[in-house]
């Protein structure tokens, strides 16, 4: 037998390459659609247990949270961003105020907000920091005399005392930014009988009587529920379980949405992985393509209404309204004007549409200005329509609010009156905040808001 050599002990470069490929294949197989859907189903059972134990309504922190709640048991949606809770970047969002939750919290004496997070984290920043900031700011605004609820409450196992202290130092600034929107505090206060207090629960915790007793305590509990079990290490050791499986759907779901998953859960979970793409495609083809779309109009400011393209412009035009439809396909500007009060602006879809909005806003604002100049006070009604009724149409309404209307809602008809207004990000933020209070379900994307800001700031120079 020949003696062992070094080359016999050390793996060759080809062998190392094969090992890397095998590990990569194993990781991809573990992160399959099947494993994600099964993990979601498993975690949703925990969420339901929490709701049953506390007898509180379930609210999905969109978009991830909706995967873990059966639509039959979903009481509402919220938009608390984890980025607003990132260390050093804490923020009270005036773009996503979530004030619509106050009515639900007051009527049900609290709620459970459901979200998840990626592998290794105990809970998402939206639950551990963004929501605590939100509760604290609202307590200071709505219960100024009850100082016992003015301090910040954060989960000590996630937020260090140092970070909590830094967050608290920013609270006066956050309160000022909220009050600058001129919210109707008496109207908001009528929804609540007690201050708000965040509580936290994960799969590592027990549904103890102590937590349940908070439902009848001296505050409205805002229970922050992390739906997924924490995974330390790689998912390969978890027998197919994936923490935060409902997150990052653009990279795995093939267009599948939470409502379609829940409507066809059994079929999806019992279909082999290789057949899932075809099944999902067929379910999408047979589903309502307008899922999540507003089918009615919402007034976001005096004279300005928004809705989806499902709204027929004919009756609105017959009533003397000005209709601006933002189409999900790109068209030439020369083809936009359908009449003196009907504009069809082809912007395309998604981020590309939001970027093209910057170039389209001058023409849109001039078109609407001409309509307002020739209309009587009774006739003045501008309707903005887009694919969802929540993003591009709201962005155009924001631009028109700043371009065409003063703080009293009166139309500015000449350039002198327009240029006399000081428009900066603070001014735009106040107008947007007022719109968000009028239409809480609006979901203005960052790209859309950037286009509006860019147009308005350049226009004022």
Say what the pLDDT of residue 357 is.
Answer: 95
- Token pair of 281, please? 């495609």
**pLDDT mean over 281-306:** 79
Residue 252 DSSP SS3: coil
Task: Categorize the per-residue pLDDT at 207 as very low, low, confident or very high, splitting at 50, 70 and 90.
Answer: low
**pLDDT mean over 176-203:** 94
**pLDDT mean over 370-377:** 85
- Spacing of C-alpha 288 from chain mean position: 21
Say what the pLDDT of residue 406 is.
Answer: 79
Query: What does the DSSP assignment read for 16-43?
Result: HHHHHHHHHHHHHHHT-HHHHHHHHHHH
Residue 201 has pLDDT above 80, yes or no: yes
Say what the pLDDT of residue 127 is.
Answer: 97
Domains belonging to the chain, first-starting first, are 33-248 (no CATH), 298-459 (3.90.190.10)
Say what the pLDDT of residue 377 is.
Answer: 72
378-430 tens-digit pLDDT: 778 999 999 989 999 999 999 999 988 877 777 876 554 444 456 788 888 88
Q: At what angle do helices 425-438 and 392-404 cross, to 10 degrees?
A: 120
Residue 6 has pLDDT above 80, yes or no: no
Nearest residue to 250 (alpha-carbon basis) of 411, 63, 26: 63
Outline where 116-183 has alpha helix (H).
Answer: 125, 131-142, 161-179
DSSP annotation of 115:
E
- Token pair of 262, please? 């829940």
Say what the pLDDT of residue 151 is.
Answer: 96
Nearest residue to 329 (alpha-carbon basis) of 274, 253, 387: 387
Task: Categorize the per-residue pLDDT at 200 as very low, low, confident or very high, splitting at 50, 70 and 90.
Answer: very high
- Spacing of C-alpha 291 from chain mean position: 16
DSSP annotation of 93:
-
Say what the pLDDT of residue 421 is.
Answer: 58
Residue 461 has pLDDT above 90, yes or no: no
Say what the pLDDT of residue 19 is.
Answer: 45
**pLDDT mean over 35-42:** 95
Residue 155 has pLDDT above 90, yes or no: yes
Residue 22 has pLDDT above 50, yes or no: no
SS3 content of the chain, % helix, strand, coil (to 5): 50, 15, 40
Nearest residue to 199 (alpha-carbon basis) of 191, 208, 190: 208
131-148 tens-digit pLDDT: 999 999 999 999 999 999
255: cis peptide before it, omega within 30°? no
Q: Which residues contact 218 (CB under 8 A, 6 or more apart)?
A: 194
- Burial class from Cβ neighbours inside 10 Å (0-12, 13-18, 19+) for residue 181 reads middle
Residue 273 DSSP SS3: helix
Q: Tell me the average pLDDT of the chain.
A: 87
Say what the pLDDT of residue 28 is.
Answer: 52
Say what the pLDDT of residue 296 is.
Answer: 81
Tell me the β-bridge partners of 112.
58, 223
Task: Identify which of 25-34, 266-275, 283-292 has the greatest average pLDDT.
Answer: 266-275
> Are the beta carbons of 246 and 40 closer than 8 angstroms?
yes
- Token pair of 55, please? 């007898």
Pairing of strands 111-115, 220-226: parallel
Q: Which residues contact 101 (CB under 8 A, 6 or more apart)?
A: 59, 76, 78, 111
* Out of 45-54, 156-165, 416-425, least confident range: 416-425
* Out of 30-34, 123-127, 364-368, least confident range: 30-34
> Are the beta carbons of 20 and 27 closer than 8 angstroms?
no
* Out of 47-56, 113-122, 422-431, least confident range: 422-431
Task: Categorize the per-residue pLDDT at 438 as very low, low, confident or very high, splitting at 50, 70 and 90.
Answer: confident
Query: What does the DSSP assignment read for 168-237?
Result: HHHHHHHHHHHHTT---HHHHHTT-SS-EEEEEE-TTS---HHHHHGGGSSSEEEEEEE-SPP--S-GGG
Residue labelled with tokens 């984290």: 121
Residue 328 has pLDDT above 70, yes or no: yes
Say what the pLDDT of residue 20 is.
Answer: 53
> Are the beta carbons of 215 and 13 closer than 8 angstroms?
no
């Amino acid at each position: 037998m020949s003696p062992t050599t070094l080359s016999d002990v050390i793996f060759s470069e080809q062998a190392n390459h094969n090992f890397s490929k095998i590990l990569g294949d194993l990781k991809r197989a573990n992160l399959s659609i099947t494993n994600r859907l099964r993990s979601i189903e498993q975690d949703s059972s925990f969420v339901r247990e929490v709701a049953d134990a506390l007898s509180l309504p379930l609210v999905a922190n969109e978009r991830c949270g909706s995967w873990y709640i059966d639509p039959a048991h979903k009481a509402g949606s919220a938009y608390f961003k984890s980025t607003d809770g990132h260390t050093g970047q804490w923020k009270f969002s005036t773009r996503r105020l979530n004030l619509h939750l106050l009515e639900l919290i007051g009527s049900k004496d609290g709620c459970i907000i459901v979200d998840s997070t990626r592998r290794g984290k105990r809970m998402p920043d939206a639950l551990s920091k963004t929501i605590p900031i939100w509760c604290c700011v609202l307590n200071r605004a709505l219960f100024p005399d009850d100082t016992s609820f003015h301090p910040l409450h954060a989960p000590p196992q996630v937020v260090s005392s140092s970070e909590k202290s830094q967050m608290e130092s920013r609270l006066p600034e956050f309160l000022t930014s909220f009050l600058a929107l001129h919210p109707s505090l008496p109207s908001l206060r009528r929804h609540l009988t007690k201050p708000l207090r965040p509580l936290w629960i994960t799969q590592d915790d027990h549904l103890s009587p102590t937590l349940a007793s908070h439902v009848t305590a001296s505050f409205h509990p805002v229970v922050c529920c992390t739906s997924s079990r924490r995974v330390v290490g790689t998912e390969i050791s978890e027998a197919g379980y994936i923490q935060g499986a409902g997150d990052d759907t653009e990279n795995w779901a093939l267009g599948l949405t939470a409502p379609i998953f829940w409507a066809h859960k059994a079929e999806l979970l019992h279909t082999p992985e290789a057949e899932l793409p075809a099944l999902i495609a067929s379910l999408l083809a047979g589903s309502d393509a307008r899922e999540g779309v507003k089918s009615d109009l919402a007034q976001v400011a005096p004279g300005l209404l928004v809705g989806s393209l499902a709204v027929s412009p004919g009756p609105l035009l017959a009533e003397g309204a000005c209709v601006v439809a933002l189409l999900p396909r790109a068209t030439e500007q020369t083809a936009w004007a359908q009449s003196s009060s009907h504009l069809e602006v082809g912007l395309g879809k998604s981020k590309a549409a939001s970027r093209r909005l910057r170039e389209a806003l001058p023409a849109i604002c001039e078109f609407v200005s001409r309509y307002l100049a020739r209309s009587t006070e009774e006739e003045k009604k501008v309707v903005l329509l887009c694919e969802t009724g929540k993003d591009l149409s709201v962005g155009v309404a924001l631009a028109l609010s700043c371009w065409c209307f003063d703080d009293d809602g009166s139309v500015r008809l000449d350039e002198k009156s327009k240029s006399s207004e000081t428009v900066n990000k603070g001014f735009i933020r106040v107008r947007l905040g007022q719109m968000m209070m009028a239409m809480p379900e609006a979901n203005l994307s960052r790209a859309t808001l950037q286009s509006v800001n860019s147009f308005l700031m350049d226009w004022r120079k």
